[in-house]
Every structure is written in C-alpha cells, then in structure tokens.
Amino acid sequence: MSTLDSAGRRRFLAVSLTATGALLVGWRVARGEPAPADLPLELLGDQLTALGPFVRIERDGRVVIGAPGCEVGQGVFTSLPMLVAEELDVDWSQVRVVQLPWGGAGTANGPGHRYGRQGGVPTDRGADWRLLREAGARVRGLLVQAAAGRWNLAVAELRCAAGKVLAPDGRSLDYGALAAAAANLPPPGAAPALKSPADFHIIGQPTRCADARAIVTGAARFGIDEYIADALVAIIVRCPYPGGRLGRYDDGATRKVAGVVEVLSLPGPLADLPFEGPLAAGVAVVAENTWAALRGCELLETEWQRDAPAASIGELARAAQAMLDASDGGLPVRSEGDFAKARKQARRVIEARYEQPFLAHATMEPPGALVDVRSGRARLFASIEDPDAAATTITRLTGIARNAIDISLPRSGGSFGRRLQNDYVAEAVLVARAVGKPVKLLWRRGDDLAHDFYRPFGVHALAATLDRKARITGWSHRCAATPRTWRNAGREGQPAHTGLLSADGFPAGLVAHLDLRFFPLGSPLPRDPGLRDDDAFEVFATQSFLDEVALAGKRDAVELRLELLGMSSAATPTQIGPPTAATARLAYALTRCAQLVGWGVPRDDGHGIGIACHATADSYLAHGFELAIEGDRLVIYRAVCVADVGRIINPLGVQAGLMGGMLASLSDTLYGAITLKDGQVRQTDFDRYRLLGMGDSPRKVVVEIVPSSAAPTLAPPSVQASVAPALANAVHAASTVRVRKLPLMPELMRLL
C-alpha cells in the first residue's frame, strides 16, 4: 500500500510490532532509510525500525500519538493529534501526545518528509487536514481487519468506538488486545473512508492544551531548556549599526573571566545579498556556562565600522511624505476605471495620511539554538518553526547531508513569524564549527530587539471620492514603505509592494475607480518577509480611513462597509447567514461583531465604540472595542473578536489564539515601535519596547467563532489586522481625536 505525497513521491505505510507487543504504525518515504536518531522513545519502543511513526497502541490500550507540528503557542501540539485520534476512534483521555522531531530525510528522489509538512509556511492547509486523519483511519482499518479475522466476520459489519472494535452481536475487543494481530496484517490497499463531520467526537470539542501539566509545573522543555553534555554557551555581541562591520576588538578582559573558553569574530551578511546567515557581524564569547559568557560580553571592547548612519524614523517619514506629495510616480499596483476623472467629478474628496513604525516580534523566549555538528552529523535543538529551512541552512554552512541532520522540536516561547527565520541557527552552527564542540547560543533581550526582521515602516496616503449621497465612487491608496522583499531570500523577484499594499485588499474590486501605488523606501533594517498573511500594515490605514470617510459623509461606518460589500445596509447576522461567499463571510463577521460590541446603541458614559474588519487567506475577522480615555489612561472595557476561520478542530485552542492574537496586536498598536538613534536601534529592553500588561489589557474579552465547514486554517492568524484600526476608531468615538500614527498611546497623549 502506498500513497503519493505532495511532491509526487511514494509514501509507504509501515506497520510493525515492538518487542513489548505494541502496534506501531507510520509512514516512511522509502525503504532502506536510516533510522531517525531522535524519535521519541514512546513511539519507537525498544525496537529500532526505519519508521516515521504517528501512532503507537500499547497492549493495555494506551495510545501514543506523535505531534508533527512546531508548537509556538498556536496549539498544534494538541490540535493535530486530535485529527489522528478522531479517525482512530479512541477517547481523547486515552491519548498521550509526544512531540515528533523533524521528519526530513534524504532519499534517492530528493528531500522527503516522514510526517508531512512541519511548520514553515502553509501552502496547502487541506493536505494537513487530510493526511493526519488518513493516518488515524488507516490504523483503525488495521485494527478492524484484525478483529474481523478473530471473529470471522466481515470488516463491513464492524464498527469502532472509544478504543474498541464492536461486533453487531455486542462482542467487543480492545485495540490493545488487537495490536499484535494488526501488526502482522498486510496493510490495506486503500485508505478507509474518512468520517463524515456529523460523526466527529473529538474534532470540534473544546480540548485543553495537551501538555498543560508539563507547562505549569516547569517540566515542559522549550528550546532554551535543552542541554547536552559538553556543550559550551555562546553569546554574541553584535554590531549595533545595521549593515555595519567589525573593526578591532579587545578581548583581554573577557578572556580573564573564569569559564570563558574562546572569543571569536563572526562575519556579518554580505552587502546587498539576501540574508541567509547571521543578521549582523559580531564577536562570539564562548564559555563553560551562561554567566561566564554574559560577564565576558560585558567586558568585551569592540569598535564597529559603519557607512553613513541609518536614517532616523523622522527622516524616513519626511522622505515618505515627500514621495507621496509628488502627484505622480510610484509603482502601479492596481488601477481600475479612472480615479483622476472621478476626483474631478466628485462632490467631495476625503484625504488622510497614516504612519506606522517598525515593529519587533519580541517573542518571550529569545532566539537561540543548541547544535552539535561534529563528525559529519548534525544535531539541532531549537525553538524554530521552519525546520526544513534550518536543515538547509546547516547543509549550506557545513556540507552535512540532509539525512545526517537530526532536529528536535521543543516548544517555542512564541513566534509571530520570527521563528520562520533561521539566522540564529546559522550563528550557532558557525560558532560550533569554529570551536569543535556542541554550542548553545543564547540571545539576550537586547540582542533580540536590536536584531530582528522588523514589520516594515511606512506612510499611507488615502483619498476617497464621494458622490452626492456620500457613496464612495473612487479610492486611491498610495503607500511609501520599506519593502518586505528587500534582501529576503525567497522573496527576490516579487514586487516591492508584496505584503504592504495588496492588489485585492478591501475595498479594491468594490469601487468603480481605483488607484493603488507603491513607493519603495530605503532603510538598512531587515524586514519580516510577511510570510504569515500579515496584512496589519495596510489594514490600519484602510480601515481607519473608511471610518473617516463615513464620518465625513455622515454615514454609519458599519453600513458603509456593508454597502461596499454589496450587502443591504439593514442586514443583520441572521439575515446574511449562513455565510458562504467571501464577502458574505466578512459581512457576517462584521455585523455580528457590531452586535456584540454594542454598535449603534446610544450611551451616555463617554465610552467610544470602534469597529473594523478584514479578510485574509480564508480567515474573516472583525474586531470591536468599547473604551474610554481616563486621564492619561486608555481603559478598554470590552474587546470583541468575531472570526470565521473555517472548521474548528479545537474551539478552546482557537479561542485562546484569537484572544491572544487580539491582545498581542493591541500591544503592538498601543506601544510598539522600533526607532533609531545615531544609526542604532534604541529599544534594547522591555522598558523601551513596552508590552501590554495585565493592567492595561481589556476588562472583558469576547471571542466568537463562526461555525463553518470550510477547510480549517489549523492555526488562527496570530496577527489580527483589524485590531489596530478598530482601536483607533474607538478612540475617535471616545475622544474625537483621530490617531493616524502608531504607536497609538504616545500619539494620543500628544494630540489630547
């Protein structure tokens, strides 16, 4: 029995029995591969095989399922094994989940994957959704076949429930009792039919985080918690000037610190080439323990060379404004009708500009990696989210073949897209190779904030033309920003506006006369390539501006959006639903959010209500806030998120993700900004890069998930684009102050 994977290679189902009598089922890419060294013992059992296991069923009926994803807080450690368990027909309480390592392998046909896609950027969400359910169904099929043989009944007469095969006459057999027999069966020729969603008993059930106990007892292992014998600790003092070089350095005092073993320089990225290794030149202090490395870094004296200092944010903003002041130029992104003519004929033209800062990811667990690259093999333990790319990095730097690389995937302390990059893996590999020992690289908080792939900086100039009835006839969005494509490997050749001004962002396609133009801005700061459907940058401008247009035309801001979406302005959620078409799904989320946040309800408490909505990659979200400005504080009384993100595997996990994503975006909106002084990033700690705290998080949070039968998005977007404009719109409602520049709090205090 075999099936084809996404690259058209054959995958074989492998079934075996361990010496302790457990059934072990999984995939392998090709016969004769070396056994992966890092398989969790629970899955491997005591018998070394070349399996890439998904499932192990013990003789006593316990079930172990391997989690193939990269857990960064999005809940895949729980949700993906739920897919397997569903089709396996076991009780979730019988299941123990263990993290699988990276399943990349080298085969005669090129790179392969034992467990399907692991982390990285989703290309085909439907494939993950199918593959894991099929894995569960195939194991169930084997067990049913074994039971049919035992009872001498036809397979079609049997059914399964809660870890048992049931016969029509009431007899039943535990999976554990069938494990040995199932292991000796030839695997079925075709995958058994998958369940109808009506029969789901695990998918769609609120399920708590599978390793919550380990987390709350401190036992859970994150990348930073991994230790191996002999490993040295490395901390790198990096050039504070983006694009700068190392001049001379004096490590005399550093080398006197007890425990410091080596001090070595690391080259930075080659000028103008894509960032493929370290982001900055630096000096690595390598020591026997963390404290010695930290002390050694403090005592290191370095001189850095730089060309002209990077422009300050003020200078960058002035350059952007000047570009946008010119009446022409820019790269055309999309043009429909004749905006210039619409402008001449318009009853009114509304215009506004918005500015957004560079943002850091600021994951709670800083970047880092533990690597061993001795004797032709590589071992990597790190909080990463694109292990395939990490393996490619290791091969490129060391020549170690893909099938000689083992990667453990511990939990990650947040990602928000940061861990799709492997610059820190490259650094650890370079240091480990230089010292000839395993190396654990630690990034300090200041290293993390000053050396990131930042969410880009930019200024938006928007203009809308209105007719007599204050309907939008034309829409112009000109954006000057630092392109995400700049020096980002894999983004070369893509247009400069990618991820900053999309051709089909709301309301493009919904107005007759449209003009979208992009003006690239230069800066030496690396940028997030925006692989995560991160539209927050442009949506702050468009959804803020829609409110300004509504206000100027004395229109209701929700009605105006519904009108653009082609919906009756009187529509209510029940009248629109159930949502099917894209615009209807967005309209439903918007109107439901309006209901929940109390849109249009007259109030006398001075609280302001604001709302915004956005659709991205099969996710339709609306956010609403009820807030008040009390002295120099902004108090959010109610925060609402309505999300249509396809079928939900784990409602509790998705709710957590949507709630958390909303609060993380609030943090960025209220406080986040990376600025430059003397060509250096100023924010090097959490005092200067402020994060949302318990005290300023919303008093009440409402997250509502729209029922849907569309393919699941598997992990909800961590960045929620409509948060920032909904907040700015609510601030306007509460104070009549329109904040057009982020971060919001300092700008609001300046304007009040």
Residues near another protein (CB under 8 A) are 72-73, 208-209, 211-213, 215-222, 224-225, 227, 233, 258, 289-291, 294-295, 362-366, 411-416, 442, 444-446, 652-653, 656-657, 659-664, 666-667, 685-687, 691-695, 697-698, 701
DSSP state, 454? B
> Taking the complex as a whole, how short is the minimal distance between the CB of residue 259 and another protein, in angstroms?
8
Q: Which of residues 231 and 565 has its CB atom nearest to another protein in the complex?
A: 231
Q: What is the 3-state secondary structure (H, E, C) of 80-146?
A: HHHHHHHHHCCCHHHEEEEECCCCEEEECCEEEECCCCCCCCCCCHHHHHHHHHHHHHHHHHHHHHH
CB closer to another protein, 18 vs 667: 667
Least distance to another protein, CB of residue 589, Å: 20
**Token pair listed for 175:** 């999976």
Q: What angle do CA 355, 490, 222 make, to 5 degrees?
A: 80
To which residue do tokens 């209901």 refer? Answer: 595
Using the minimum distance from each CB to another protein, give the nearer residue, 464 or 656. 656
Q: Could you give the C-alpha distances from 440 to 189, 379, 436, 437, in angstroms and in order?
A: 46, 12, 13, 10
Q: What angle do CA 464, 534, 279 make, to 5 degrees?
A: 125
* Shortest reach from residue 625's CB to another protein, in Å: 14
Q: How far is the CB of 627 from another protein (least distance, A)?
A: 16
Give the number of other CB atoms < 10 A from CB of residue 691: 15
Report the C-alpha gap between 195 and 464 in whole angstroms: 50
Q: Which is nearer to another protein, 298 or 678 (CB)?
A: 298
Q: Considering beta carbons, is residue 347 or 699 the nearer one to another protein?
A: 699
Nearer to another protein, 302 or 383 (CB): 383
C-beta atoms surrounding 607 within 10 Å: 19
Examine residue 578 and say whether the peptide bond preceding it is cis (omega within 30 degrees of 0). Answer: yes
Element (H, E) at 626: strand 619-630
Q: Which is nearer to another protein, 108 or 215 (CB)?
A: 215
Least distance in Å: CB of 348 to another protein?
40
Least Å distance, CB 258 to another protein, is 7
Q: Which residue has the tokens 């956010």?
A: 623
Residue whose C-alpha is closest to residue 383's, from 364, 399, 397, 398:
364
d(CA 60, CA 70): 30
Nearer to another protein, 77 or 115 (CB): 77
d(CA 136, CA 131): 9
Q: Please say which residue, 558 or 596, places its beta carbon nearer to another protein.
A: 596
Provide, rounded to whole angstroms, the least separation between the CB of residue 71 and another protein.
8
Closest to another protein by CB, 591 or 655:
655
Q: CB of residue 734 vs another protein: minimum separation in angstroms?
A: 20
Give the nearer residue to another protein in terms of CB position, either 37 or 364: 364
Least separation in angstroms between residue 257's CB and another protein is: 9
H/E segment holding residue 665: helix 651-671
Q: Shortest Cβ distance from residue 476 to another protein (Å)?
A: 35
- Vertex 286 angle, CA 283 and 289, to 5°: 140
- Taking the complex as a whole, the smallest distance from the CB of residue 479 to another protein amounts, in Å, to 28
* Residue number with CB closer to another protein (125 or 638): 638
CA dihedral (90, 193, 651, 623) in degrees, to 10, reads 170
Per DSSP, 188 falls in state P
| Pair 174, 57: CB distance under 8 Å | no
In the bound state with another protein, the residue whose beta carbon lies nearer, of 174 and 225, is 225
Tell me which residue has tokens 């084809």: 4
Contacts of residue 314, Cβ cutoff 8 Å, sequence gap at least 6: none
d(CA 553, CA 228): 65
- Helix (H) or strand (E) holding 398, with range, is helix 387-398
Tell me the closest approach of the beta carbon of residue 13 to another protein, in angstroms. 33
Q: How far is the CB of 638 from another protein (least distance, A)?
A: 12
> Which residues contact residue 110 at a Cβ distance below 8 angstroms, ignoring those fewer than 6 apart?
7, 9
User: Which amino acid makes up residue 727?
Assistant: L
C-alpha pair distances (Å), 703 with each of 252, 636, 662? 57, 15, 10
Least distance from another protein to the Cβ atom of residue 445, Å: 5
- Under DSSP, is residue 160 helix (H, G, I), strand (E, B) or coil? strand
3-class state of residue 472 by DSSP: strand
End-to-end CA distance of the chain: 70
Neighbours of 425 (CB within 10 A): 28
Six-digit token string for 310: 């990077």
Length of the chain counted residue by residue? 752
| Pick 124 or 685: Cβ nearer another protein | 685
Q: How many CB atoms lie within 10 A of CB 210?
A: 24
Residue 396: CB minimum distance to another protein, A: 29
Identify the residue whose tokens are 């250096």.
Answer: 680
Please, what is the Cα angle at 231 between 230 and 237, to 5 degrees? 145
Q: Nearer to another protein by C-beta: 335 or 697?
A: 697
Yes or no: say if 216 and 57 are a contact pair by the CB < 8 Å rule. Answer: no
Going by C-alpha positions, the residue among 200, 183, 253 that lies closest to residue 23 is 183
Output the smallest distance, CB 437 to another protein, in A: 16
Taking the least distance from each CB to another protein, the nearer of 212 and 601 is 212
